[in-house]
Structure 1
Amino acid sequence: MTLDELEKNLSDPWWRLTSGFLYQILIKGDEETEGLKAPFIPNEHQINFIENLWYRNIILKARQLGFTTMIAIYYLDCCLFGKGDTRAGMIAQDKYAADKLFRDKVKFAYDNLPPEIKARFPLARDSASELLFAHNNSSITVGTSMRSGTLQYLHVSEFGKICAKYPDKAKEVLTGSIPAVAPNGIVVIESTAEGDEGHFFNMTETARKKKEAEAELSQKDYRFHFYPWHKGQEYQLDANIYITQSEHDYFDRIEQACDVKINLLQRNWYIATRDNDFQGSSELMWQEYPSTPEEAFKKSKEGCWYTEQFIKVRREQRICTLPVRTDVPVNTFWDIGNSDGTAIWFHQRVGMQDLFIDFEEGWGEPYAYFVKIMQSKGYLWGKHYLPHDGAHARQGESKNLSPQQMLKNLGLTSVEIVPRVSELLHGINQTRVALMNDVWFDMDRCKNGLKHLENYTRKFNSHAQTYTSEPVKTDGHSEAADAFRQFAQIRDQVGKTARKTSKPAKFARTFS
C-alpha cells in the first residue's frame, strides 16, 4: 500500500473499522491461541448495527456477540480521527468490569495500532480510566458513571444488570450520564435481559413498540436493535446431542415465528449450552440467548424467590380469567406496612382450589382508603388475615390502636392474626409449596400482584457476587409477596374452615 493509498483509506471511516488493518483485539481462541490478538473485522451483527446506527440506540442481544468490543473501537476511532474536543464515555456495571473494559478493549486497541499510525496520536494523559489525545484534545473514558461535562458518545454496557443489581447506579445513568450527551450525540445502551421490569425493560419495550409500529423517531427516541442467538453462525455444534420431540417443537415454533431456519448443528449447540452451561435451565437460556424479544424477558431476575414455581403455574395455565363466585366468601390476606405500602390479596376457596380473584395495593394510604375500595367491590366477605404485627398498637395512631382494631372499627368483621413464623425462609418455603399446588390467579385483576410475586428478589451481595437469603424490601415487590405469604402460612387452616361448595364452572379459555 502506497502512502497516498494509505492516506485515502484513513480518510474513510468504513475502511478504518472493517479492513482489519488498523485495530487489534484480544481473542479467546482455543487452547493453543488463548490470549492472542487478532485484527478487528466486524461480524455480521456488528456490521448490521453500524449500518443502522441512530442518535439513541438500545440493543437487546444474546451473549458474546462482541458489541462492547465493537463500540469501544468505534468510539476510539471517533476520538482519533474526528474533530477536536470529542468526548466519549463508556459505563460498566462495576469497577472491575470498567477496569477490564478499559484495559482489554480501549487501551489494547490503542497500544496495538500500527506504529506509524500510533505516532500520529500521542497521549496527553494516560490514566487507569482515560486516554486524552494530544493532537486534538479528544478523550475516551471508562467508568461506572459519566455525569460531569458534555459527551458526544456514550455507551452503557449490560444496563439490565446495572438496573437489577445496582439501582442507584441505574438512576445515576438515567439522571446524570445520558443527559450529559449532546442532542446530536450518540448513545448506545446494550444488555442481555434481567427480568420483566426496571429501566432497561421499560426502555426496551418502548423502543420495540415504536419499531413494530414503524413510528418515525426523533433524536430523543431510542432505536431498537435485537440480535438473537439463532442469527449467529458461531452458535453451532457438530456433536451427537439427544434432542427430544418437545425440544424440536420449540425450535420449529421459533422458525415459524421468526421466519428463520434453525439447523441441526444450531439445535445441538442450544441444547448442549442449556444443559451444560446452565444446568438445564431454560429460563437462563431465554435470558442469555433469547430467540425472540419477548422470550428474553420471560425469565424473572436471577435471585427471584419463586421463579421455578411460576414456571409450573404458567405451564398448567393457572393464570387465566376467573369467575367471582357470589355465593362463596372472599377472604383477604394483608401486608400492613407501618411506613411503607399495604397490599391485599382477595381469595376464594372452592372445592380444593384456592382462587385469587383480586389484588389491591397502595402506599401511604390510611386503612379507611382500603376499606372503602373493598366495600365498592360488593363481595361476600369471609375472614381478613393480618400478619403477626397486626395486633400491635401503632405509636402515633389515634388512641394507639392496633391495625386489627382499627379495621374492626372501620366495619370489617372476622379480622384474624396469622402467627409469626420462626424464620422468614420457612414462610417463603411454605409459599413455594402453595404455588406448586392448586392455586389459581385471575390474569387481569391480579396482574399487578403477580408481577410483584414473580419479581420478589433476594438482596445481592456485590462483594461476594452472590445473592443472600435476605429479601429486597425497597423495590415495591415485598408488600405483595408478604401479603401472599400470610395465605401460605395458614393454607391448611383456610382449607379446613372453607365452606363446602360444588366445583366451579369451567374457567374462560383465556390464559396468560
Structure 2
Amino acid sequence: MAEQLYQHLAGLSRAELTERLKDPHWRIRNLYYIKDKQGKTVLFKPNEVQEKFIAELWYRNVVPKARQRGFSTVVQLMMLDACLFNQDTTAAIIAQDQVTASKIMREKIEFAYERLPDFLRRLIPLTKDNVTEKVFSNGSSITVSTSARGTTLSWLHVSEFGVICFQSPLKADEIITGALPAAEAGITVIESTAKGRDGEYYKIVQTAKANAEAGKKLTKAEYKLHFASWWDADEYELDPEGVIITAKDHQYFDEKEREIGRPLPARKRAWYVSTRDNTFGGDEEKMWSEYPTTLDEAFKVSTEGVYLAKQLTTARQQSRIGRFPYRPGIPVNTFWDLGVDDDIAIWFHQTVGAMDHFIDYFECSNEAYDFVVRAMQAKGYIWGRHYLPHDGDQRRPGQISLQTPRDMLEGLGLSQIVIVPRTADLVAIGIQELRADFATYCFDEEKCSPGLVHLENYRKAWNQGMGVWSEYPAKNGHQHAADAIRQKAQASDMVRRHALSTGSTVPRRRNRSGMAV
C-alpha cells in the first residue's frame, strides 16, 4: 500500500531521490501521510501557520493557539523525520494523560511510519515497537508518555501544557524541573490552548510575549512565541444564512477587527457564533480559551462566579491598581492566611489617609515560620500590627507542639500580633465584608501581581450535580490570598483605630481620579 501512495516519487531518478532525501524541508512535504479532519489519508502539506512555524522554529518554542491548527501534527512529523534521518536522536512527547499519549503514538507516529515507502522502512526498521516507545535501527527513538525525566533529549514536545497546568500543577512542576532541563541542548515545543491566567504555561507565554514585543534577541534558553488564532484558518467559516448574529456580537467582531488589523467577514462571524452557541452552549469563556481571537483573549477569564469581579474592575477604572510603593514613616501591617496544608499568604498594608494601600504580597507552601519571618524582615519595612485569622491562636491538629502559630511567630520576634475574631458565618459574611471594604483598597500592581491574579480567580465552586454556582469558594489554590485580605475587611474598624492611635497616617492627597493617592 505504501508504494501506491508514493506515485509522486515515481518520476525521480535514484540519484535525484537520494539528493532530495538529504533535505528535511523536502522530506516533510513529500514523505509523510496523515489523516485529515475528515478522516481521509492524505500526503502532509503544511498549511499557512505550519509553514510559518517551520520557518521560524527556535530552540525553545511556545505555541498558544486555537484548536486544531495542526501544530501537534507538524511537530510530531518533524520529530519522526529527525529520528529517521539522524543517528542517536532522542525525542519525547508528553501528553496530558496516558490515553492521549497512546492515541498520539497510534494515530500520528505509527500512522506516518507505516505509510512510508517500503525502501525507507527496510532501510530504517524498528528494533523496538510498542504503544509508548519506538526505537529505530540507527539508535534513534521516540517515546510518548505523561512525563520525561532522566534522559537527554534532542526533541521535546509538551502537548496541551496549559491543560496539564490547570488539572495537575504537580505534574506541571515535574515537567518544568525534569523534562525541560533534559531537552536543554535540543529543541523544545510547548503548545496548548489556554486555561486562564495561572500556572507555568501562562508565565512562559507572558515572558515570551514581553520579549517579542520588546524585539529582544533571544538566547537559546528563551522561548520564541508562535500564536495562531481561528480567523486565518480557511475551514473556520460558515454560510451565515440562519445564524443569528446579535448587535452585541457585531460590536465584538468590529472591536476585534481593529485589534487584528483585518476584516472578519460574515462567514467568519457566522462560524464563530455557531461554534460558541452550538458546541459550547453559549459559553464565551470556552471560546476565548479554545478559539482565541487575540493572544490576550486566550487567557481572559469570565467574570461569572468571580467574587470580586466588579470590585477589581472598579479599582482599575479608578486607578487604584497601579504604582503604590512603600511609604517610609508609616507602619506596615500584615494580613495572613494560615492554610491547613502549610500554605501561607500575606498582604502588606499601609493606612494612608482614608485609603488602604496594599504595597506587597508574599506566599509560600510547606515552609517553616522562620523562613517566612526572614523573608518579611528582608523587606526592610517598619512594622505595625500583624493580623492573623482566628486559627492563629489554635494548635494545629496532629501537631505534637503545644505552641500555636501566634506563639511561634512571637518567638521569632514578631510583636503586636492581633487575632481577627471569627464571624458567625466565616466565609459568606466575610466575603460580603470584603466587597464592602474594597472601595478604599489600592494595590501596587508590580509587587502585588501574584496576589491580584489570585483575587481575579477567586470564584464560587461549581455544583456539577445541580448545574449552579455554589455559595462557597472553589478550592483552586486562589482562596488563600483572598482569605488573607479578608482579614483586613473583618478587622477594618480595628485597623482604623490602631492607625489613629499611633498618629501614623498621612493626609489623603487627591489626584485626578479622586481615589488613588
Question: Shorter-normalised TM-score: what interval?
Answer: 0.7 to 0.9
Aligned residue in 2 for 1:314: 313
User: Counterparts of 1:202 and 1:438 in 2: how far apart (Å)?
Assistant: 27
User: Counterparts of 1:215 and 1:401 in 2: how far apart (Å)?
Assistant: 50
User: Counterparts of 1:374 and 1:186 in 2: how far apart (Å)?
Assistant: 39
Native 8 Å contact 2:332 2:348 kept in 1: no
Aligned residue in 1 for 2:467: none
Q: Deviations over 1:459-478 (max 9, x none)?
A: 99xxxxxx9986245xxx44
Structure 1 stretch displaced more, 6-15 or 98-107: 6-15
Question: What is the 5 A alignment of 1:283-432?
Answer: 283-299=285-301, 307=306, 309-310=308-309, 313-314=312-313, 317=317, 320=321, 334-336=336-338, 339-344=342-347, 346=349, 357=358, 360-361=361-362, 364-365=368-369, 386-392=388-394, 400=403, 403=406, 412=416, 415=418, 417-419=420-422, 427=427, 431=431
Q: CA deviation at 1:9?
A: 4.1
Q: Residue 229 of structure 1 aligns to a residue in which SS?
A: coil
Answer yes or no: is 1:27 the counterpart of 2:36: yes
**Percent identity between the two aligned chains:** 38
Aligned residue in 2 for 1:112: 115
Q: Residue 124 of structure 1 aligns to a residue in which SS?
A: strand
User: Counterparts of 2:452 and 2:353 in 1: how far apart (Å)?
Assistant: 20
Distance 1:342 1:307, change over 3 A: closer
Q: CA deviation at 1:248?
A: 2.9
Native 8 Å contact 1:90 1:156 kept in 2: yes
Q: Deviations over 1:201-232 (max 9, x none)?
A: 22222222222222222332322211122222
Answer yes or no: is 1:214 the counterpart of 2:215: yes
User: Counterparts of 1:186 and 1:162 in 2: how far apart (Å)?
Assistant: 20
Q: CA deviation at 1:440?
A: 5.9
Q: CA deviation at 1:337?
A: 5.2
Native 8 Å contact 1:153 1:181 kept in 2: yes
Q: CA deviation at 1:281?
A: 3.1
Aligned residue in 1 for 2:442: 442
- Which amino acid in the other structure matches residue 198 of structure 2? E
Native 8 Å contact 2:276 2:284 kept in 1: yes
User: Counterparts of 2:79 and 2:324 in 1: how far apart (Å)?
Assistant: 57
Native 8 Å contact 1:306 1:454 kept in 2: no
Aligned residue in 1 for 2:50: 46
Native 8 Å contact 1:428 1:485 kept in 2: no
- Which amino acid in the other structure matches residue 159 of structure 1? F
Aligned residue in 2 for 1:153: 155
Q: Deviations over 1:98-154 (max 9, x none)?
A: 1111111111111233445444432211111122223x2322221122223322211
Aligned residue in 2 for 1:236: 237
Aligned residue in 2 for 1:252: 254
Question: What is the 5 A alignment of 1:82-97?
Answer: 82-97=85-100
Q: Deviations over 1:243-292 (max 9, x none)?
A: 34443333333322332222222222223323333333333322222222
- Which amino acid in the other structure matches residue 292 of structure 1? T
Native 8 Å contact 2:208 2:224 kept in 1: yes
Distance 1:509 1:203, change over 3 A: farther
Native 8 Å contact 1:390 1:402 kept in 2: yes
Native 8 Å contact 2:102 2:131 kept in 1: yes
Native 8 Å contact 2:95 2:160 kept in 1: yes
Answer yes or no: is 1:267 the counterpart of 2:296: no
User: Counterparts of 2:298 and 2:78 in 1: how far apart (Å)?
Assistant: 27
Q: Deviations over 1:139-198 (max 9, x none)?
A: 222112222332221111112222222223223322322222362x32111112223233
Aligned residue in 1 for 2:190: 189
Q: Residue 17 of structure 1 aligns to a residue in which SS?
A: helix
Aligned residue in 2 for 1:202: 203
Q: CA deviation at 1:487?
A: 6.1
- Which amino acid in the other structure matches residue 223 of structure 2? Y
User: Counterparts of 2:267 and 2:515 in 1: how far apart (Å)?
Assistant: 37
User: Counterparts of 1:164 and 1:145 in 2: how far apart (Å)?
Assistant: 16
Distance 1:346 1:243, change over 3 A: farther
Q: CA deviation at 1:403?
A: 3.0
Correspondent of 1:14 among 25, 31, 35: 25
Gapped regions of structure 1 (runs ≥ 5): 30-34, 461-466
- Which amino acid in the other structure matches residue 176 of structure 1? G
User: Counterparts of 2:287 and 2:433 in 1: how far apart (Å)?
Assistant: 25
TM-score by length of 1: 0.75
Q: Deviations over 1:342-401 (max 9, x none)?
A: 4247598999xx96755544655569889989996798x9xx86433234357888x946
Q: Deviations over 1:59-90 (max 9, x none)?
A: 1211110111111111112222x122222211
Native 8 Å contact 1:385 1:418 kept in 2: no
Aligned residue in 1 for 2:225: 224
Q: Residue 158 of structure 2 aligns to a residue in which SS?
A: strand
Q: Residue 230 of structure 1 aligns to a residue in which SS?
A: coil
Q: Residue 203 of structure 1 aligns to a residue in which SS?
A: helix
Q: Deviations over 1:438-474 (max 9, x none)?
A: 74642427544322223458999xxxxxx9986245x
Aligned residues: 476
- Which amino acid in the other structure matches residue 284 of structure 2? S
Q: Residue 217 of structure 2 aligns to a residue in which SS?
A: coil
Distance 1:438 1:17, change over 3 A: same
Aligned residue in 1 for 2:132: 129
Aligned residue in 2 for 1:162: 164
Structure 1 stretch displaced more, 289-298 or 336-345: 336-345
Aligned residue in 2 for 1:2: 11
Q: CA deviation at 1:46?
A: 0.6
Native 8 Å contact 1:275 1:281 kept in 2: yes
Aligned residue in 1 for 2:174: 172
Native 8 Å contact 1:427 1:488 kept in 2: no
Distance 1:441 1:161, change over 3 A: farther
Answer yes or no: is 1:76 the counterpart of 2:80: yes
- Which amino acid in the other structure matches residue 79 of structure 2? Y
RMSD after superposition: 4.8
- Which amino acid in the other structure matches residue 218 of structure 1? T
Native 8 Å contact 1:335 1:386 kept in 2: yes
TM-score by length of 2: 0.74
- Which amino acid in the other structure matches residue 16 of structure 1? R
Q: Residue 149 of structure 1 aligns to a residue in which SS?
A: coil
